[in-house]
Amino acid sequence: SSLRLRSDLSPESLPFQLRPIDWYSLGYTAVDPETRPSRTIDYAAGDFFLQDAGSMLALAGCEADVPPRNDRLVCDLCAAPGGKASALLESIEDGFLLANEPIKSRIAPLAFNLSRTGIDRYAISSMDPDKLAERLGGVFDLVLVDVPCSGQALLGRGKQSLAAVSQTQIEHSASRARRILKSAITLVRPGGQLVLSTCTFAEAENESQVRWMLQQGGVSPAPVERLTGYSSGESNCTYRLWPHRHHCAGSFAASVRCEDAEPMVTGRRQKRQRQKNRERLPAELSQWFDGLPKRYQVSGATIWGWPEDAPSWVDTIAIRGPEIAYRTGQTWKPSHETSVRRRGPWSIRQSIEVDDETAHQFLFGQPIPCDQSGWCVVRHHGRGLGWIKASHGTGKNHLTSAARMSG
């Protein structure tokens, strides 16, 4: 199993032995193939993400494992299921991430993976790249485009059919990707970076696309020095991993600089217009949290909240964000995301620290002992795992199903 470790942790902190992945400093592979990282408390606590080593090539191109640059605006244009987007979110410090996913059925896993980071500096949109480029052209310091492709690298893992190698599929994928890339170029601010990523081997979907981009006005190669050993093609900015050489599914990444984009949204931290008749926050939030968000959005049965310095356009294009609370019937409940939050403007009022046995009991969805009353976050070594609602010595389990261990 390959995994991506949080930047503030060391591989020695995990309960199994790891060996590093050469092209990405936060990437590791479990030494024992029988190890099941997803069955550990550390995984539940968000200490690492399971991720194929090949997909980390694009993250290396984005330099998501180096100290963050302040005030950076990043867009993951085709973000689901969120492996790369979550890495970018962990890398931005006081910047902001827009995770765009045009296919609405893929939003739920994207939202969950972003929530696992414990960071609230993101918004999720679901727009066609053309429409997004019309709204936010020339805004982003970095745009990652993990374009839909023929998926040939997934053949060996049984996740793709032989249609992936057909000329028809390759041409269809290349044509679709070129349309997306045209919009992606527009989204990059003058002097910003665009990183292209695929999980296919077809030259028409990889190096050919980069040659086309470099023929566009204002687009130039942006070589990634540390990836020189993985170079492919003649453009000096394209890189490949191969299953038989690099012990991963295989992948392609390219890095270019975009100089000519004209910003369509002025100001990186615009002052927002005051929202009129905004729905008030339910009183229950004051029972769960010390301090309340000043930048929030109530959408039906869900409340999202963003940092006050989030970009001005967030409120107008986000369909989801860092979730604070949700309603079932007439009852508001705290969202799972707040229990794992590592940064943010407020703190949890009630929490309990549990041992390994009780943590596993909780993660399997069972009630646990608790001598407090009301909503309470379960913590293990200080790390939030989820919510319980306690009364009469028992904490009723409210861990979201996506975060539970099974089997």
Which position has the token pair 């679901």? 126
Which position has the token pair 């900015």? 237
Long-range contacts at 227-236 (CB < 8 A, ≥ 24 apart): 227/23, 227/57, 227/60, 227/61, 227/253, 230/23, 230/57, 232/206, 232/207, 233/206, 233/207, 235/207, 235/210, 235/211
Instruction: Tell me the pTM.
Output: 0.93
- pLDDT tens for 204-248 read 989 999 999 999 889 999 999 999 999 998 889 999 999 989 988
- pLDDT tens for 163-172 read 566 777 778 7
Distance CA 389, CA 381 (A): 20
pLDDT at 271 over 50: no
The predicted pLDDT at position 269 comes to: 46
Backbone angles phi, psi at 14, to 5 degrees: -90, 155
Contact between 132 and 183 (Cβ < 8 Å): yes
- pLDDT tens for 158-215 read 555 555 667 777 787 889 999 999 999 999 999 999 999 998 988 998 999 999 999 9
The predicted pLDDT at position 273 comes to: 46
Amino acid at 301: A
Determine which of 42-46, 112-116, 118-122, 290-294 has the lowest per-residue pLDDT on average.
Answer: 290-294
